[in-house]
Amino acid sequence: MQTRAIPSNGLPFRKMHGAGNDFVILDSRGMTPVCTPEIARKIGDRHRGVGFDQLAEIRDGEDADIVIDFWNSDGSRAGACGNATRCIAWMVMSETGRDAISIRTTRGMLAGRMIGDEVWVNMGPPQLTWQEVPLAGDVDLLHLPLDGDPVAVGMGNPHAVFFVEDAEAVDVAGRGAPVERDPLFPEATNVEFAQVRGRNEIRMRVWERGTGITLACGSGACATAVAAHQRGLTDAKVRMEVDGGWLTLDWREDGVWMTGPVAHVFDAVLTADWLGA
Ligand SMILES: N[C@H](CCC[C@H](N)C(=O)O)C(=O)O
């Protein structure tokens, strides 16, 4: 993709988080995008840069109100990012006073809606075939051939959901990192550990592909709700406690809808000098 040069007066950005899943947002509406893998890694460094779980760059859409590109802190692209989508949907709807917007991501066309004072986003229907997730071969997605009997779900990005007795007791990094890179997932995977507390409540902890442990993962929360419902453990609508707060997921005919808290932390400018422009 063609990118524009870093402006000599610096690069403005916004910091937001959704349930503790934190983002740097670059607003390139009306402009050529600026982000490259190098820029994502540089800004993503929590010591020498700003730090984020994902970087989201917004640009104009031809067939949607906005287009969002997602990056992980290791410079790889994230195919979906539910919490950043919620934050940006909130931001754009607050700016415009509208109560519905269309958003294009590599996942496809998503919808954001303000219902009362909650922002809901439709993360789209889950991907339930091995080719879509993707997996390395034709295996049973509801019982992957891995220790711990996880479920595979695609939400525009791959997820492996493990059901556990006690989510607090799980060594998320120790178990998540090897699964992220298991050859069963040709594009690697995000890994969720879910404890079902009841028909409408799940406790979930996550290891994200390309990022590591995060306090919440929206697409992972969607994948977990889908996996639990498919296994017959929960209803289609659940509340989910993640390390950074609570999300609500509702798997409907047109996709998995998600809501939860959003926070606008600050707006600032990265200097051109530091960016090496
Ligand atoms: N935090 C994001 C997901 C990031 C997924 C990313 N780590 C990937 O490579 O797929 C969310 O709220 O959905």
Could you write out the DSSP letters of every residue in 168-214?
GG--HHHHHHHHHT-TT-TT--EEEEEEEEETTEEEEEEEETTTEEE
Taking alpha carbons only, the member of 55, 58, 22 closest to residue 39 is: 55
- Identify the helix (H) or strand (E) that includes residue 11: strand 11-18
pLDDT given for residue 117 in this prediction: 85
Radius of gyration of the chain (CA): 18
- In this structure, which residue's CA is closest to atom 11 in ligand 1? 81
CB atoms within 10 A of CB 9: 9
pLDDT given for residue 114 in this prediction: 93
Pocket probe mutation, ligand 1, options 157, 205, 224, 259, max atoms within 8 Å of Cβ = 157
Distance between CA atoms of 209 and 92, rounded to whole angstroms?
A: 27
Question: So what CATH class is 151-253?
Answer: alpha beta
pLDDT digits (tens, 9 = 90+) for 8-31: 999 999 999 999 999 999 999 999
Residues of the chain scoring pLDDT < 50: none
Q: Domain limits of the chain?
A: 11-123+261-275, 151-253
Measure Cα distances from 191 to 14, 49, 90, 132, 221 in Å: 28, 26, 27, 17, 11
Q: Is 54 annotated as a binding residue?
A: yes
Return the active site residues.
81, 217
Can 11-123+261-275 and 151-253 be said to share one CATH topology? yes
User: ipTM of the predicted structure?
Assistant: 0.95
Domain 11-123+261-275 is found in CATH 3.40.50.12280: no
Q: Is the CB of 191 under 6 A from ligand 1?
A: no
User: How many angstroms separate the alpha carbon of residue 33 from the centre of ligand 1?
Assistant: 20
Q: Is the CB of 217 under 6 A from ligand 1?
A: yes
Burial classification of residue 95, based on how many CB atoms lie within 10 Å of its CB (0-12 exposed, 13-18 middle, 19 or more buried): exposed
User: How many angstroms separate the alpha carbon of residue 235 from the centre of ligand 1?
Assistant: 24
- Identify the helix (H) or strand (E) that includes residue 267: strand 263-270
Helices (H), the chain: 37-44, 82-96, 172-180, 218-230, 272-275
pLDDT given for residue 79 in this prediction: 87
Q: Is the CB of 218 under 6 A from ligand 1?
A: yes
pLDDT digits (tens, 9 = 90+) for 213-269: 999 999 999 999 999 999 999 999 999 999 999 999 999 999 999 999 999 999 999
